[in-house]
Structure 1
Amino acid sequence: MFKNQLKIAWRSIKKQPFLNALNTFGLAIGIAGTLLICLYIYDELSYDKMFADAERIHRINVDMKFGGPDRQVSQVSGPMAEAVLNDIPQVESAVRFRPWGTSSLNKTTETNLVLEDRTAFADSTLITVFGLNMIYGNPNKALTEPNTLILTKTAAEKHFPIINAIGQKLILNEGNTYTITGIIEDLPNNSFLADYSVFMSMASHVDNYINWGSHNYNTFIKLKQNTTASDIAEPLAGMMERYLMPYAQQFFPGITKEQFEASGNYVNYSTIPLTDMHLYSHREQDMGVNGDINNIYILGCIALFLILLASINYMNLSTAYSLKRAKEVGIRKTLGSNKNSLVKQFLTESGLITFGAMLIAIVLAIIALPFFNQLGDKSISVPLSNPFFWMVLILSAALLALLSGSYPAFFMSKFKPVKVLKGGGENSTGGSKLRKALVIFQFAVSVFLIVGTLVVSNQLQFMQNKDLGYSKDQVLLVNNMNRLNDQVDSFKEEVMQLAQVSSASLSAYVPTPSYRSDSSYFLEDKLEQESAINMQGWQVDFDYMETLDLTLLSGRTFDSNITTDSTAVIINESALKVTGLDQKAVLGKRIFNGIGEDDISEFTVIGVVKNFHFETMRHEVRPLSLQIGRSTGNLIVKLKSGNFTNTISQIQQLWDTRSPSLPFDYQFMDESFNEVYENERRLGDIFIIFTSLSIFIACLGLFGLAAFNAQKRIKEIGVRKVLGATIGQITYRLSFDFLKLVFIAITIALPVGWFAMNKWLEDFSYRVEIKWWVLVSAAVLAILISLLTVSYQSIKAAIVNPVKSLKTE
């Protein structure tokens, strides 16, 4: 019986090649888009789950407020790991990371340097806590000794055959010599350690700020079996009173926790599971570039919408052409077919089309995958060799066939033989309310996605075009300047002599997000703890403000001719707000750093600079001070308009004469700025692509309903033409019915879209407002798209010869 149904189904499909090609193509597009999004979501959800006992590993975070805005930081103080191990019995082990940025490595017998972008100091427990796969070396001893390091396989192969790498020597940053004690497999792309290639032993790291007052270490703990994070929440919270307050009392004798909190400050320790970090952690000093669970929800909704829209299309297109099969159904029923056998027949046809669409969708997904990977910065592949993948795909296709084919099957099986065989099939077809509801749903989804696309695009444009408070265009950053040692100043001077260079400044501090630490500062007449100003202190040179075009609001900038400017400081507006003084009153005030310590620094405020963004726009601009100091990490070069290629080549020649062994490393500041918002840009691109697919699929559904309506009203159209109706009047009459559905969809979708995108924008401290024109644009675009879709069928029906329309058998 089933074999017979397959034969009949195949014959029926061949009888309507255009209709079924349209059905198959619509389903294939929906399945392919859904498949790509699901693979993306699966990859995002799989982050850090590959580590051994990942469910038992947690990172310690700190939320704090101390003389400045609220901060959420992923780094804690250096002694925290040891204190947790000693005081909390549920903790099995711990490991700390101290990210160190770009480092150079070279053999002791060679001068050519190899740069590794992400390096970090790590405790000797790194291998055992995360269960890393060590190819060579002893995991229990790899990082126990000072001046030892481990490399990933790829990093090691740049220097030695990995089989002979253990025990070899490498010079780190042209300084100390390190011994290779381990080689590990390259870390997975879906890991927070993905970009790290070198780990140096923590025992070799000399840190002058390893105390309870500084938060510089990403600290992970591994809980014992059958222990949860809630079991350690209370003792972890007690670390503040047990250790941090006694440390603070060294500098503020007599201060209590109650006094500290009464001044509006707080320090709260908490944990986050390792497997949640990628999607739920948006903290300062995260070790990797994280995603966002909200984006996963958005993409999940888009995937669901795509498959639903494709399924609705099948229903509408099938029912639109069902009248052509009305007589077939009547004859089958007359010859003895019952309703169940007809339903099975039509579901078999739906199954064939759906499984055919699934195979086409897999091919489309494979073809589109390289572009999609580039778009999402992923390395996803379609797991064709995974049986579970095929099982899920086949079950999903079967459910989709049932969902898509059930309504047309039951719809057509209800045809009454007497009516359809007399040519009255159009009067025996019902379900118009459901079809209209489906079209309303389709366009409501499309309008919602259009609103989302416009809002995301506007936010991206806002971030890229917003006045940052500094000039990022035509600014070149030359990295690793500290490697030039005593030739730094002469290099800067020669660069400034180039014709296309406007100015240049030496400083490791540039206004793009990076690892930095805050310190506590005190005004001369407010030395008590509750008056502390928690802010960053950037060491810059005399040309810094000019090079970045920072705006001075009051006072003066640094002057190399004034010797006292070596102890001068310029603060930003956020720091000024914390002092409680105005722009004029703060000038001349003395500020102290390191109260209660042996080394106290004293500065005099000489100016106030306009706030400029040195972190992402998800965070408010925090207090900052600029100080004259020796910081040679970068050379910031302001270029004049013109051909930059020649100037960069000249700068490289100057570099190569001084450091031929170290590659010339540079980037433009605007490129560095754009990297910060790469996730948002990708989300915007994904939105545009899948919104376009959703609109295209929705248009197929509207096309189907328009065809159905035109076919059903063919005699009405003929009568109207005979009575004098013009083609324009008939077209308007047919189109207006669909526009009503679109208007209903717009009424539903606009408030939902406005609410959802407002929630998304809440993640940004600096954001756009959703203007009225965004909603109007989405509505107008939906109306235009629907008109273009419907007008073809309406005009086609309107120009039919009424003789053919009114002819009866």
Structure 2
Amino acid sequence: MAQTSPPKWPNRFLEWYCNPTLLEEIQGDAYEMYFRTRKMHSRVLADLQFTWNILRFFRWSNIKRSRTSSPSSLMMLHNYFSVFKRGFIKQKGYSFLNIFGLGIGIACFILISLYIHDEYSFDRMHSKADRIYRIHEIFESDGIGERSASQPFPVAEALLNDYDAQIEQAVRFYNFQAPTLAVATIDDKNKKEFNETRLFFTEPSFFDVFDFPLVKGNRKTALHDTHTMVLTESAARKYFGDEDPVGKYLKFQGNTNLLIIGVLKDIPPNTHFQFDFLVSFETLKSFYEGHLPPSWYWNPCWTYLLLKDPGSVHTLHTAMPAFVQKYFPNMVRNDVTMEFMALADIHLHSHMDYEIQPNSRESTIYIFGSIAVFVLLIACINFINLSTARAAKRAKEVGMRKTLGSPRGQLVTQFLMESILLCLLAAMLAVALVVIALPFFNTFAEKAIFTHTLLEPFYLALLLGLPLGVGILAGLYPAVVLSSFLPITALKANVSREKGAIFRKALVTLQFTLSIMLLIGTGVAIDQLNMLQKSDTGFARENVIMVPVMLTPVAEKYEALRTEFRRNANVVSVTAMEEILGSKHQVGNFIFEGMPESKPFPRMNVRHDFLKTFDIPIVAGRDYSEDVGTDDTLSLLVNETLVKQMGWGSNEAAVGKKFGTRPNRTIIGVVKDFNFASRHQSIRPLVMDLNLNSQAFQIFMKYMAVRITGNQVPETIASLEQQWKAQIPGWPFEYFFLDSNLEKLYHAENKMSKITLIFSGLSMLVACLGLFGLSTFTAEQRKKEMSIRKVMGSSNTQIFLLFSKGFFSLILLANVLAFPLAWFLLKQWLAGFAYQVNIDFSLFVLAGVAAAAIAFITIGYQAWRAAHSNPAEVLKNE
């Protein structure tokens, strides 16, 4: 079969092109041809004008080559960059939408990843972190009792003695279980005194286990001697200004002088507990008659172990049942189990009773991580959508390049490089946005993240990898599809505007599905938070002033102080109690009528008027009375849940039931159930024990509670402070409002709601940016169609609806997909709460309507322009 020779005109064209003189002649001929054909059909004229522009571009770029030799790689890159620059400047609007949308998405992803990175960095700064474990005590029977992060005093020494082959060191922390401890300077001329919340007693082994740097003092001898202490740099400045504190004294609890022997560098924020003062453990003996408390029942010490080998934890865990049977008293040993938790896991996984300070939750990390991925995915979809939409307009450029001899590989490289360059610009914008937003993000996220973190290898790789990955994905369509066109097809025919339309519609639907899910999730999270914070807890918490009194001289002055407080007309009632009501509780062993042995029950030591102060109703029997002198020894109050658990039939039947082993000890009243702990837990049995012992303020009575009317609050507080100073001179008066304190219990949910709200709003913004760009492109592509329809009699309203309905059908489909997915995921999240808000379907409707309204506003302008355009102008130019 005869071979057909290829047409000679491309080769002849290349010969002319490589000759500058001939090229100028071609330019002149083309210019003359342009004017001779002005009245030709508009499409032919446009083709000629496009060819002329291509010739001018190649002449301007001054790339000279012979017919047989290919341009160097450097010259090719220069060519690619020139094309990119011209396209960027010519299409400013699309370039801005592409870069700004993707930049916001990357910035959101980086900010949330910085937050997650910080959460996972807790306690990992210690060189021996993989060998440090905290030991927990689970004291429960039938699911009732406590899961304590602390241990009895003797546990650490017994473990070191029995398991020295596995344990290298042990260190305990203790703070009298007091909410605050008084610290003051001993200089009366410039006296400074404060109630401190971050003071702990600890052992010299602290410096062997942890790596907190001591900037002044000797790590080997620090905290060995009695009545010595170290403090942080911030605490030193607080009490001594710029003076060197080493060798000076601070007064503890008004009567104990402590010698400062060292200064610690300020404790980093990414540790699971914070402290400002560390006092030697030996000092405790002076408070407990020369020795440490030997009780195996009382568990006030947080105990950390440094293992010789991380694998030893399994051996220790197996040995704990025998350890409990060996040392713990008979009445509790069958209800106690011991658990170990790695130091690095405490912040995200430990939610025990009596944590040193509240921890975060890993579930929150998963939620934030999902939000970060969603926002980034939405931004990437925008970028890919706009890139593929604009690609079809470059079909003639592809055809001309292929005609001029460009191989397909060069075309693929060019499109991918242009896409990656845009992504790199977006990444640079993202870094700028992160630097600007980080101080504000630190404020509401309560973090101390620094911008130099972005220089870590992970974030450098992220900032390079993301643009590369997104750029390749976005550039694949023009690179692969357009480069496959035959030159004659690309030059003689228009690439249909429907090319890739289904793909773009799918991406728009996906991004609005994700945005609607985020909006619904934010609404449900806010509802859940409001329910936890504001729903009825069963007791009065507004206008209740809490005054820390443990280990203060109030023990001898309580009744006199209470009487003076009650003289104020704005004071409703005054009482004292063991823990913050609605926050936490203690546990005690009780035996009730019908029980074979004692069991642990949640317990609250209280004083008279406890129920009156918190407006807790009695449902059967009576309250403690100051007229009955035996109530503190022979009487007990319980709640309704305890009655139900004991199976006593009714609240009235519970009154008169026996408790304890002594005769005549009876339950005198049953109170209505209330949330004595946080609403993360369901209501459990509770015993309210009247404790009138004057020594109770050393261990059991931690707070006075003063309920006021709410009138003249500043004047009332000033009056309380005046009476306090009159009764207890030289002791700081501090207080807080109960309702404000209880809000801290739901701090994690509050923070999550804020972050979710902000980033869901940003996700909708990014989605709308993409929708605006896509609608602008669609309006440009369909302007001739819309003009013809107007000429044929279509009204502006019909044109508007025709243009808009395609987009709104995608929003409707996104709602259909988002609703069941959001409902399923939210049910999984709410399952972690004892009290769950009912998912309000109106939130789904509201989120769907909001998405549709935002989309309407976004595309409305382009639809209006399409409907009100002048057909004569459009068709004349076409």
Q: Please, what TM-score do these two structures have when normalized by structure 1?
A: 0.90
How far apart, in 2, do the equivalents of 1:622 and 1:120 lie? 31
Q: How does 1:198-237 map to 2 (within 5 A)?
A: 198-201=278-281, 204=284, 210-225=294-309, 227-237=311-321
Instruction: Tell me what 1:792 maps to.
Output: 861
* 1:263 match: none
Deviates more, 1:82-91 or 1:204-213: 204-213
Number of aligned residues: 783
1:737 aligned partner: 806
Letter in structure 2 aligned against 1:545: L
CA distance in 2, matches of 1:210, 1:805: 94
Cα distance in 2 for partners of 1:73, 1:26 equals: 48
CA drift at 1:559:
1.8
Could you say what secondary structure the match of 2:337 adopts?
Answer: strand
The answer on 1:564 being equivalent to 2:630 is: yes
Over 3 Å counting, the alpha-carbon distance change for 1:628 and 1:667 in structure 2 is same
1:523 and 1:378, CA in 2 relative to 1: closer, same or farther beyond 3 A?
same
**Aligned counterparts of 1:115 and 1:361: Cα–Cα separation in 2:** 44
From 535, 547, 567, give the equivalent of 2:613: 547
Question: 1:585-734 maps to which residues of 2 (within 5 A)?
Answer: 585-592=653-660, 603-630=665-692, 631=697, 633-659=702-728, 661-734=730-803
RMSD (Å) for aligned C-alpha atoms: 2.8
Q: What letter matches 2:303 in structure 1?
A: T
| Secondary structure at the counterpart of residue 168 of structure 2 | strand
Post-superposition CA distance 1:44-83 (Å, at most 9, x none): 0100001221011111123342265264332233332223
Kept in 2, the 8 Å contact 1:67–1:533? The answer is no
State the alpha-carbon separation in 2 of the partners of residues 308 and 67 from structure 1.
47
Structure 1: how far apart are the matches of 2:644 and 2:222? 49
Question: Which amino acid is 1:591 matched to?
Answer: F
SS of 2:653's partner is coil
Matched, 1:535 2:601: yes
- Over 3 Å counting, the alpha-carbon distance change for 1:519 and 1:24 in structure 2 is same
| 1:129 is aligned to 2:192 | no
Partners in 1 of 2:302 and 2:512 — Cα distance? 47
CA contact (8 A) 2:522 2:757 kept: yes
Aligned residue identity for 2:846: S
Contact 1:215-1:517 at 8 Å conserved across structures? no
Is 118-127 or 625-634 further displaced after alignment?
Answer: 625-634
The answer to whether the 8 Å contact 1:537/1:625 transfers is: yes
Query: Pick from 573, 583, 588: which aligns with 1:503?
Result: 573
1:397 CA displacement:
3.1
Please identify, of 6-15 and 233-242, the stretch whose mean Cα deviation from structure 2 is larger. 233-242
Q: Tell me if structure 2 keeps the 8 A contact 1:384–1:390.
A: no
The one of 785, 807, 816 aligned to 1:747? 816
Residues 481/520 of structure 1: CA separation in 2 closer, same or farther (3 Å cut): closer
Distance 1:477 1:224, change over 3 A: same
Matched AA of 1:92: E
Tell me if the contact between 2:97 and 2:773 (Cα under 8 Å) persists in the aligned partners. no
Residue 250 of structure 2 corresponds to residue 170 of structure 1: yes
Deviation per CA, 1:447-489: give whole Å up to 9, x if none. 2211210111010010122111111112222334763534443
CA contact (8 A) 1:358 1:397 kept: yes
Aligned partners of 2:538 and 2:673 also within 8 Å = yes
Quick one: which of 85, 88, 100 aligns to 1:10?
A: 85
Find the residue that maps to 2:311 and give its secondary structure. Answer: coil
CA 1:67–1:226 in structure 2 vs 1: closer, same or farther (change >3 Å)? closer
Alpha-carbon distance, 1:41 to partner: 0.8
Distance across 1 between alignment mates of 2:325 and 2:591: 23
CA distance in 1, matches of 2:825, 2:532: 20
State, as a whole percentage, how many aligned pairs show the same letter: 33
Partner of 2:642: 575
CA deviation vs aligned residue, 1:657-712 (integer Å, no higher than 9, x gap): 45564443121111101111111101000000000011111122222333343344
Aligned equivalents of 1:350 and 1:114: distance in 2?
A: 61
* 1:394-438 residue CA offsets vs partner (Å, 9 max, x unmatched): 3333333333333454455455544554462335x6222221221
Match of 1:373 in 2: 442
**Aligned-partner Cα distance in 1 for 2:663–2:443:** 49
SS at match of 2:654: coil
Judging changes above 3 Å, is the alpha-carbon distance between structure 1 residues 660 and 416 closer, same or farther for their aligned structure 2 residues?
farther
- The alpha-carbon deviation at position 108 of structure 1 amounts to 3.7
For residue 387 of structure 1, report the CA deviation from its aligned partner. 5.5
Q: Which moved more, 1:21-30 or 1:92-101?
A: 92-101
Secondary structure at the residue paired with 2:418?
helix
Cα drift, residue 160 of structure 1: 4.4
Give the Cα–Cα distance (whole angstroms) in 1 for the partners of residues 759 and 739 of structure 2: 28
In the alignment, structure 1 residue 94 sits paired with structure 2 residue 170: yes
Separation in 2, partners of 1:412, 1:202: 80
| AA in 2 matched with 1:563 | G
Paired with 1:780 and 1:754, the residues of 2 have a C-alpha distance of 17
Match of 1:103 among 163, 170, 181: 181
Give the aligned partner of residue 19 of structure 1.
94
Q: Output the CA distance in 1 between the equivalents of 2:242 and 2:663.
A: 49
Please say if 1:243 is aligned against 2:309.
Answer: no
Look up the match of 2:834. Answer: 765
The amino acid across from 2:604 in the alignment is W
Q: Work out whether residues 134 and 185 of structure 1, in 8 Å CA contact, stay in contact via their aligned partners in 2.
A: yes
1:227 aligned partner, one-letter code: G
Q: CA deviation at 1:332?
A: 2.9
Find the residue that maps to 1:383 and give its secondary structure: helix
Following superposition, the deviation at residue 37 of structure 1 comes to: 0.8
Distance 1:116 1:625 in 2: 31
Answer with 413-422 or 577-586: which moved more. 413-422
Contact 1:90 / 1:227 at 8 angstroms: preserved in 2? no
Give a deviation string over 1:185-215, Cα, whole Å, max 9, x none: 2211000132453344166155797433343
Checking the alignment, whether the CA contact within 8 Å between 1:99 and 1:121 is kept in structure 2 is: yes
1:394 aligns with 2:469: no
Q: Who is 1:84 aligned against?
A: 159
Higher mean displacement: 413-422 or 114-123: 413-422
* Conserved? CA contact 1:116–1:198, under 8 Å: no
Q: Which one of the candidate residues 403, 406, 410 is aligned to 2:476?
A: 406
Secondary structure of 1:33 counterpart:
helix
SS in 1 for 2:183: strand
Asked if structure 2 preserves the Cα contact closer than 8 Å seen for 1:148 and 1:201, the reply is no
Displacement, 1:43?
0.6
Conserved? CA contact 1:112–1:662, under 8 Å: no
How big is each residue's C-alpha offset from its partner over 1:610-656, in whole Å with a ceiling of 9 and x where there is no partner?
A: 22223222222333222332445333222223342232233333334
2:711 & 2:746 partners in 1: Cα distance? 27
- CA distance 1:182–1:403, change in 2 (3 Å): same
5+ long unaligned stretches in structure 1: 261-265
Distance 1:162 1:803, change over 3 A: closer
Q: Report SS of the residue matched to 1:105.
A: strand
SS of residue matched to 1:304: helix
What CA distance in whole angstroms lies between the structure 1 residues aligned with 2:792 and 2:376? 44
Mapped partners of 2:313, 2:826: distance in 1:
33
SS of equivalent to 2:222: coil
Deviations 1:332-369 (A, max 9, x none): 33333333323332333323322222222222222212
User: Structure 1 residues 654-663 or 674-683, which shifts more?
Assistant: 654-663
Distance 1:67 1:559, change over 3 A: farther
Alpha-carbon separation, structure 1, partners of 2:282 and 2:817:
58
Which deviates more, 406-415 or 677-686?
406-415
Structure 2 unaligned spans of 5+: 1-75
Asked whether the equivalents of residues 99 and 287 of structure 1 are also in contact (C-alpha less than 8 Å), the reply is no
Q: Which residue identity lines up with residue 550 of structure 1 in the other structure?
A: I
Superposed, which structure 2 residues align to 1:773-788 within 5 Å?
773-788=842-857
Which of 484, 489, 492 is 2:562 aligned to? 492
Check whether the contact 1:569–1:628 (CA below 8 A) recurs between aligned residues: yes
